[in-house]
Structure 1
Amino acid sequence: MTRQSITLIGGGLVGALMAQLLAKRGFAVEVFEKRPDPRRFGFVGGRSINLALAERGLQALRTAGLADDVMERAVMMRGRMVHPLEGASGLQRYGVDDSEVIWSVSRGALNMLLLDAAEAAGVTLHFGQSLASADFDARRIALVDENGTQRHHDASVLIGADGAGSALRAAMDEYSPIGARVESLGHGYKELEIPPRAGAERFAIEPHALHIWPRGGYMCIALPNTEGSFTVTLFLPAHGPHPSFDTLPDSSAAAAFFREDFPDLLPQIPRFAEDYDSHPVGTLSTLYLDRWHIDGRALLIGDAAHAIVPFHGQGMNCGFEDTVVLADLLAESGRDTADAFAEFQRIRQPNANAIAAMALENYIEMRDSVADPYYLAKRELGARLAERAPKHFMARYRMVTFTHLPYAYAYERGRAQDQLLEQLLRGSTHANDVSLDAAIATLEATLPPLPKLRA
C-alpha cells in the first residue's frame, strides 16, 4: 500500500518536529522551508535567540525520542530572579523543588537537531523554497527559490508550520476567508547580550534563573546560554511618551535610560551600543483564527494558527504539544484527514486561546506584580495551600508549566483560585493574617479536587 503523502510548509522548530513524528508513523513527508539550511549556512536569526522549554515541550521531545539530546544543550532555570530598582534581588521559584524547573535552549541549536532527526526518519527536506501560491482545488502548490525560479509540487495534504507570518495561511485566507485577526500588544522588544566571563565561572550572574528587572510598564529579562552568556531582552512600549522605543532611537539615549532604570544591568553589557544600534525592534502580537483548516486539504499549526506573546514561555511548548496531538489523530484517522483536522481544531483551539490570554496576563505580572506586596502575599498563601491541600490547590503557573492539564482548564481553575485567594486575604498584604486551617476548609468547600495528573 502506498504511503500517504503529507507536505509541510516550514522547517522551523514545530515544522521539523511535526515532520519527524509523521515520518515515524509511516507517512511520506516533504518539507519546504524558505530559509537556507541552517546546518550548512548557519542559523538565520531575527527571532529570540533562546527559548524556555517546559514539560509540555519536553513530553513532545520524549515522544520523538529526542529529549535526552536536547537536555544536553539546555540550562536549568529554577525560577525568577527579581532585580528591583531598590533593594536586594530575590529568587521566586517556579515550582516546589528542582523537579519543577524550566530550561533555556538555543533556538538555532534545537532547530538543527530537529532537522537532523527529521531527515534520519526519512523526511525529504527542501531549503530556499518559498510558497508562492496554492491551488487547493488542484492540490498543487507553486514554490520559488531565491533566484526567482518557480517549481510546482503536488500536495494532496498541506500542513502549515511556517510561523506567525505564514504564507500558507495567507493563501488559505485568499481561497476561503478563515477569520484572521492580529491584536498588537503595542510593545516591542530588543535583544542585547551579557557575554561569558573568562575563567572557570563563565556566568556573570546566577545561571540557574530567568532574571527579571521589573519596572512597572516595562522590563528587562535575561536567559542563560550554555556557553556562559545571557540573552537580555528589553521590553518597552513601541510608541508614546518616555520610555518607549520612540524616545530611545539610538544607543546614546538608551544608555542614559539604562543608567537610571537598570544601573546594575548596564555594566554587564559591554557591547551595549553595538547591540542596541544593530539589533532591530521586534513586534509583539497575538493571532486569532476562526478556522484553522480547509476540510482535509490544508491545516495550520503552531504560530501559523495561534501566535502568542512570549511572556509565559509557552509558544514553542504549545506548538510542540500541537505536533503530538495532530500526529496521533492522523495516525488514527488513516486517509480521512478532514475529520482529523476538524478534531485537531476542536481540541486545540480553546487551549490556544487560553494560553494566549495567560501570556498577556503574565506580561503584567512579570513587569509589575512580581515586586508588588499584595501579589507576593497571594503567592505565599497559594504556596501554603498547595503544600497543605495539594489535591485542591496548584498555582496556575505550575499547572501550565509542569503538567499536561489542558491550558483551558488551567486558565479557568487559575481564575477561580485567584478569586478565592483575594477573598481570603481581603486586601491584606500579609499571608500570615489568614488562618490556614480556615482557608483550607473554604478551599475544599469552594473548589472541586484537581484532576489526577499523569505520571
Structure 2
Amino acid sequence: MTVAIVGAGLTGSLLACFLARRGLSVTLYERRPDPRVAEVERGRSINLAISERGLDALRRIGLVDEVMADALPMKGRMIHPVEGPLDFQPYSASGDRAINSISRGALNNALLSAASAADGVTIEFEHRLVELDSAVGRMVFATPSGKVSVTADVVLGADGAGSAVREQLLAEGIVSENVDFLDYGYKELSIPSVNGEFALDPGALHIWPRGTSMMIALPNPDRSFTCTLFWPSGSFDALTTGVGIEQHFREHYPDLLPMAPDLVDDYLNNPVGVLGTVHAQPWQAHGRTALLGDAAHAIVPFYGQGANCAFEDVVELDRCLDDTGGSWARALPLFETRRRENTEAIAEMALDNFVEMRDKVASPVFRLQKQVEHTLERLLPGTYVSRYELVSFSTTPYAEVQRRVRRQHQVLGAAVATLAAGALTLARRARRSR
C-alpha cells in the first residue's frame, strides 16, 4: 500500500508519522524547498497556540516533550488599552491552565524531522502538484528538473487553505467549495528582547483591542514577541510613510512604539495576508483521495485552533482506519462523517472569538461576565465549564462544546430569571407590608 501526502506542512508531516506506524509506504510531496535549510519567508509565521487537542496528537506519537521543549505557556490574555493600566484575564477558573506559544516554523521542522526519520517515509521537496487523476491516484508534479508523474494507492491533500489537491478535485467536478473571506487582512510586526529579557510578560497572550481592529503578540523562545495586526481590508494602504506610521501607532498603540524599533521597516516591508473560512464538500473521492486540515476546512485564527483542529483530524483519520480494519474506502467517508459538524462548529466559534477579542475584552461588562463564569466553574466543578476551557483544555468534540454551552446558558438564564422574579416578588410584598 502506497500513500502520497501532498503538503509537508504541519498536518502532512504529522500524518506521515501516524501512517508510518501502520507500516505503510508514505511519500510526502512539498512545493517549497526544505524549510529546515531554506530561508524563512518574511512576515508569514502567525505564531501558533498549541493546546490540548494538539498536545493529544503529539503524545500519541511520542513527540510532545520534544516539540514542546521551547514552547511558552500563556495563562491568560493581557489587555493593552489606549489609556490606563494593563488588565490580565486568566483563561481558566483555577488560573493555572495555559495555551502554548510556539513558532510555526519550529514545529514544522520538528515534525518534518520526525517524519523523515520514520521507517517507510520519503520526502520530496520542490514538487508542486499540477495534475491529479483522483480515480487512479495519478499525479504530475512540476520540479526544478521538469515534470514527473507518479501513482499512489491513496492520495491525501494536506496542503493548506490554498490546496492544489482541492483545486484539482474542483477541476474534476468532484468537489465544490465556498470560501468566505473575512474583510480583514493581517500584517506581522516584532518586539525584540531588551537586554536579553522579554519586553512584555511572556506568560500572556497580549491583545490591543481597538473596536474595529486589534493587534496581538505572542512570546518566542529568543525572548522576542511576534505581533500580528488585524485591520479592516484597505486600512494598511492608508499608511505609506514612516512619519504617518509612527503617528498612527503613537495615537492608537502608544506603548508599542518604544518596544518596536523596527516597526516602520516591518510595516512597510512585511506582506498583508488574507483571512477566510473554507467550506468544501465532499472531502473525499473514490475512497482513495481525500482532503484534511486546512485543505478541507481552513478557519480564521482567532481561537488558536487551526493547527489543533488539523492535528485532531489526523487522530480521527487514524481512529477511522482502526475502526474499518485499515480499509481506506470505508475510512475516508467515515472520517468526513465524523469530523464535518465539528469543523463547522469551530469555524463558527473562531469568528465569534474574533468579535470577543476585538470588541469585548476591554469592556467592564465582559470582565464581570468572565468573573461570574469562573465563579460558577469553581462552585460547580465539572458541571459548569466555560466554552474557552472546553475548546482549549479538553478534547470534547467541537460540536458538543457548542451544544453544552447552549444548555449551560439556558439553565443559567433560567436561574437568573427565577432569582430576579423571586427578588421582585419579595420587593412587592415588602411594599405592601409598609
TM range (shorter): over 0.9
* Deviation for aligned residue 1:319: 0.4
Counterpart residue type for residue 225 of structure 1? N
In 2, distance between residues paired with 1:328 and 1:25?
Answer: 12
Q: SS of the residue aligned with 1:404?
A: coil
Q: Which runs of 5+ in 2 are unaligned?
A: 424-434
* Deviation for aligned residue 1:83: 1.0
Give the aligned partner of residue 402 of structure 1: 393
Q: Encode CA deviations 1:245-276: one digit per residue, 9 max, x unaligned.
A: 24234544332211111101121110011100
The answer to whether the aligner puts 1:183 opposite 2:174 as a matched pair is: no
In 1, distance between residues paired with 2:42 and 2:318?
Answer: 28
Taking structure 2 as the reference length, the TM-score comes to 0.92
Contact persistence 2:43–2:189 (CA under 8 A):
no
Give the aligned partner of residue 452 of structure 1: none
Give the aligned partner of residue 32 of structure 2: 35
Distance 1:274 1:46, change over 3 A: closer
Give the aligned partner of residue 230 of structure 2: 235
Give the aligned partner of residue 20 of structure 2: 23
Counterpart mapping for 1:132-151 below 5 A: 132-147=130-145, 149-151=146-148
Which one is further off, 85-94 or 401-410?
Answer: 85-94
Which of 95, 113, 131 is equivalent to 2:92?
Answer: 95
Which of 380, 383, 388 is equivalent to 2:374?
Answer: 383
Aligned alpha-carbon RMSD (Å): 1.9
Contact persistence 1:286–1:308 (CA under 8 A):
yes
Give the aligned partner of residue 125 of structure 1: 123
The answer to whether the aligner puts 1:412 opposite 2:412 as a matched pair is: no
Counterpart residue type for residue 344 of structure 1? F
The answer to whether the aligner puts 1:283 opposite 2:274 as a matched pair is: yes
In 2, distance between residues paired with 1:62 and 1:249?
Answer: 47
The answer to whether the aligner puts 1:223 opposite 2:214 as a matched pair is: no
Contact persistence 1:251–1:276 (CA under 8 A):
no
Q: Encode CA deviations 1:77-128: one digit per residue, 9 max, x unaligned.
A: 1100011122211111111346510110011111111011011112100000
The answer to whether the aligner puts 1:194 opposite 2:185 as a matched pair is: no
* Deviation for aligned residue 1:384: 1.1
Taking structure 1 as the reference length, the TM-score comes to 0.88
Give the aligned partner of residue 443 of structure 1: none
Q: SS of the residue aligned with 2:281?
A: coil
Which one is further off, 311-320 or 338-347?
Answer: 338-347
In 2, distance between residues paired with 1:184 and 1:132?
Answer: 25
In 2, distance between residues paired with 1:156 and 1:208?
Answer: 46
Counterpart mapping for 1:346-361 below 5 A: 346-361=337-352
Distance 1:177 1:135, change over 3 A: closer
Give the aligned partner of residue 211 of structure 1: 206
Which of 58, 61, 75 is equivalent to 1:61?
Answer: 58
Q: Encode CA deviations 1:110-148: one digit per residue, 9 max, x unaligned.
A: 11110110111121000000001001233210001135x
Give the aligned partner of residue 103 of structure 2: 106
Q: Which runs of 5+ in 1 are unaligned?
A: 427-433, 439-455
In the alignment of these two chains, the number of paired residues is 420
In 1, distance between residues paired with 2:83 and 2:93?
Answer: 27
Percent identity (aligned): 46
* Deviation for aligned residue 1:176: 2.5
* Deviation for aligned residue 1:155: 1.7
